[in-house]
Amino acid sequence: MSYHGHVEAAFFDLDKTIISKSSSLALTRPMYRAGLVSRTMLLRGAYAQLVYLLVGADEKKMDRAKEAMTALSRGWEKAQVEELVREVLIDLIDPYVYQEALDLMALHHALGRRVYIVSSSPEEIVKPLAEHFQVHDVIATRAAIEDGRYTGSLEQYVYAEGKAEAIKEVAAEQGLDLEHSFAYSDSITDVPMLETVGNPVAVNPDRDLRREAEKRSWQIRYFRRPVRLRTRLAGAIPKPSPVAAAAAGAAVAALVAWVYLRPRLRRTA
């Protein structure tokens, strides 16, 4: 959808917004099998996953995780990591995709908005997942590469304020209308990201984000239906005629748009 020549967009956080678990931590065991991480790192990853699911990740935890991962990845071959991700990550993540998120992304596409997945996880993880969700625009953490190997440092860290800055940069480059765009996230650390758009939505919010969303009268949504995307696509019904599809699609889009995207009514004084 465009407004005065500008294109609207929808920005989706990845972990606990589109999927119900951490995409990066899901790779710990496959990396261990491939010889990229030690048994100690495997156990730490399992513990980190438990903490993440139970209490979320605050800024200090994320900074420590960033430092640990950049140090750990020093010397890894980029091509090996990309191959590993494509071989195992989709199967690991596929059962944990929220159907509500898939429906919303499809709706935004149908309404002419550009859909972005915005994540602090590395591009090598986010891009294959985005393709699996049929999303082509990604804003993610980017590692420095030299001679095909990770240097152990980052070129771009897409977290907290970094997410907001990256979104603003992309908006300026692509001519996106942020005032009429949407953003979805579960974490208080993504308040800067949510503040960049005119339609912020807290999804499965942690306690602090829920409190902030209520204070600001932001929309709050709960996604509770993980679904296997491959099963969902395989079970799709045959396509109707183009005329019938257009008529039905317009009616469904109008209905779902009203349910999902209607602005919150502000309380009158």
What is the DSSP secondary structure assignment for residue 54, as one 8-state letter?
Answer: H
Separation of alpha carbons 102 and 19, rounded Å? 10
Residue 238 lies in a domain: yes
Distance of CA 171 to the CA centre of its chain: 17
Separation of alpha carbons 158 and 169, rounded Å? 12
- CATH for 120: 3.40.50.1000
> Which pLDDT does position 239 carry in this prediction?
43
Residue 239 lies in a domain: yes
**Average pLDDT per 10 consecutive residues for the chain, totaling 269 residues:** 74 93 60 55 46 49 57 71 74 86 96 95 86 93 88 87 97 96 96 98 96 98 83 42 40 39 42
Q: How many CB atoms lie within 10 A of CB 41?
A: 17
Q: Residue 209: what residue type?
A: L
Q: Helix or strand or coil: residue 49? A: helix
Residue 214 lies in a domain: yes
> Which pLDDT does position 184 carry in this prediction?
98
Q: Has this prediction a pTM greater than 0.75?
A: no
Residue 125 lies in a domain: yes
Separation of alpha carbons 227 and 224, rounded Å? 10
Return the axis-axis angle of helices 242-261 and 99-110, rounded to nearest 10°: 110
Residue 105 lies in a domain: yes
Instruction: Answer yes or no: are the C-beta atoms of 76 and 146 closer than 8 Å.
Output: no
Instruction: Answer yes or no: are the C-beta atoms of 42 and 212 closer than 8 Å.
Output: no
Mind telling me the catalytic residues?
Answer: 13, 15
Q: Torsion-angle region of residue 102: left (phi > 0), alpha (psi -120 to 50) or beta?
A: alpha
Residue 117 lies in a domain: yes
Residue 124 lies in a domain: yes
Q: Tally the domains of the chain.
A: 1
Separation of alpha carbons 153 and 142, rounded Å? 9
| Structural domain span for residue 174 | 2-19+72-261
Residue 184 lies in a domain: yes
Instruction: Answer yes or no: are the C-beta atoms of 64 and 57 closer than 8 Å.
Output: no
> Which pLDDT does position 119 carry in this prediction?
92
